[in-house]
Amino acid sequence: MDKWKRRTLYYLSTLVVVFFGYALVYDYGMTVYEGHNQPFYHSLQVVIETFTTTGYGSDAPWETPEMNVLVMIMDLTGVVLIFMALPVFVVPLFEDALSTTLPTAVEDLEDHVVICTHSPRAETLISELESWDVKYVIVEPDRERAMDLYESGHHVIHGDPESVETLAGANLDAAKALVADASDEVDVSIVLTAREVAEDVRIVSVVEEPDQETYHELAGVDEVLSPRRLVGESLADKVTTAVSAELGEAVEIGSDFEIAELPVQRGSEIAGNTLAESGIRERSGANVIGAWIRGEFETPPSPDLELDSGTVLLVAGRQSQLERLKELTSSQTHRPRRGTVLVAGHGEVGSTVTDALAAANISYTVVDVAEKPGVDVSGDATDPETLEKAGIQQARTVVFTIADDTLTGFGTLVARDLNPDIEVLARAEETENVQKLYRAGADYVLALATVSGRMLASTILEREEVISMGKQVEIVRTTATEFVGQSLAEADVRARTGCTVVAVERDGEVVTEVGPQFRFQHGDDVIVAGTDEGVNRFTTLAN
């Protein structure tokens, strides 16, 4: 509505200025060239008659060429203004009349999640909600985007999420939770409005800049999430693990039982072998749950899977077993690997990476397009000259933390060309671009949208605990009521869902020896690992 008001105001203002401008010129011309002194309002009347084609000027015909030229110019100006009105007003009005009417409110919807507004991370959240049969409604102010969502089958209402009327139309007072995910400033406004509509509703917001977190809390948010910080920590962990003899960050499932991701490095003992030839189980005692091959997750991995530098193993075992396996996956030629770490981009993710590297006493060089504190080389991180100046040919790892997937993909290609042996870690803004970055040559990619969606799901869904959101797969603790009384072989979890049952928590103890004959019981909490889709299938079948 505001857009239409602005358009109308601009157009009418233009008409008034043009009418009066031509009236002044016409009045002057009639006095000087035609020798007629007449009231100004009569000159204005002639201009309006000419522009609206209701007449051709009551003073016609004109005797001087100057006045005839002026009238012709007025005629042409009137035609141009009419044609301007067609695309600005007439065509959109017809399009609106013929288009689908978008809903502006929901009826009889309870215990649902109100999502303000749609974003890439919302897709992961929606997938999680649907797997648990939790209803949702998206509040989207942009009509075109709302129309796309509506036509694709999403539950959406069109309206301003900062409006009391819109949130009331979303039946917020009967909702399970509200997610504010627009921008830091807009989110605060949404929260204040939500508290006016439903004082007790649970509100979760996603903060882009950590220094804005205080204002979200002051506005009344129950939970503030900062996914960029988590992504930065996860990327930094991959660097520190690669140069350290320690295992690095792992997910603790029970006493001395963990799940970790271990990348197969160039020059390691098992690089170039198949999974069967590597003898991982026999040599380390750890269990390989799955493997990422250039971004494609496979579980269980095939014995013929070739282990190379693009493979990331998802493994489970005791800490001593995982540490032995890390020795098998680590490079033998560089212990520790020489060279610095290049960090491309120094926003929230990049600064989190550098803080972790500094704490681990790992040397690094920061490249950013802007000159600011903490930046060592100022320039475009996709420019070969900038990367050469930053020392990429001597570096062992480059971490792309740029908030633009197109630039990250291009920068990965440039980095690979300048240093074919370099390890490339990348942050992806959207999940759909992960595969593209792997094809460009990245060794490890973590999608911000996926991490954000999982954080939201873990906060809202009390029935599913996301144990690890920084891993490339979901590791969740959930229930399996539909499998009670069945053995793991009878439930056929892997074939039906693509997930792996890692462990089962029973009577306060974690059972890690979960073989085909293991039988599910009432009260079991099942720890499963898999992709988003796989975990969603598991929760749908098991509950």
Please name which of 305, 235, 231, 292 lies closest in space to residue 263, comparing C-alpha atoms.
292
Q: Measuring CA to CA, how many Å separate 331 from each of 246, 268, 271, 321, 373?
A: 14, 4, 9, 18, 34
Q: pLDDT at position 248, please?
A: 47
Q: What share of the chain is helix, strand, coil (3-state, %, to 5)?
A: 45, 20, 35
Helix runs in 53-117, H state only: 65-85, 91-98
Distance CA 261, CA 249 (A): 9
Neighbours of 229 (CB within 10 A): 16
Q: Name the β-bridge partners of 367.
A: 344, 377
Using CA atoms, how far residue 43 sits from 59, 66, 413, in Å, is 9, 16, 68
Using alpha carbons, select from 226, 159, 217 the residue that is nearest to residue 188.
217
Residue with tokens 């060592």: 376
227 token code pair: 């996914």
> How high is the pLDDT of residue 91?
59
Q: How far is the C-alpha of 479 from the C-alpha of 466, rounded, in Å? A: 13
End-to-end CA distance of the chain: 45
How far apart are the C-alpha atoms of 395 and 346, rounded to whole Å? 18
For the four alpha carbons of 185, 186, 187 and 190, in that order, the dihedral sign comes to positive
Residue in the block written with tokens 């890690």: 512
SS3 string, 468-501, reads ECCCCCEEEEEECHHHCCCEHHHHCHHHHHCCEE
Q: Tens digit of pLDDT per residue, the chain (543 long)?
A: 455 567 667 777 777 888 888 888 888 888 888 888 888 878 777 877 777 766 656 677 777 878 777 777 877 777 777 666 666 665 565 555 545 578 888 888 899 999 998 988 888 888 878 877 789 999 999 988 998 898 888 999 999 999 999 999 999 999 999 999 888 899 999 999 999 999 999 999 988 887 888 899 899 999 888 888 878 887 887 776 654 444 445 566 666 678 877 878 777 888 888 888 888 888 888 888 888 776 677 777 888 888 876 688 888 888 888 888 888 887 654 444 456 899 999 988 899 899 988 888 889 999 999 888 989 999 999 999 999 999 999 898 899 999 899 999 999 999 999 998 888 989 998 888 888 998 898 888 888 887 777 778 778 875 555 545 445 567 778 888 888 888 888 888 888 888 888 888 888 788 877 888 888 888 888 888 877 777 778 888 877
Q: What's residue 332's pLDDT?
A: 58
**Total number of residues shown for the chain:** 543
CA 425/CA 342 separation, integer angstroms: 10
Q: 539, 478 in Cβ contact below 8 A?
A: yes
Q: Please, are residues 124 and 431 in contact by the beta-carbon 8 Å criterion?
A: yes
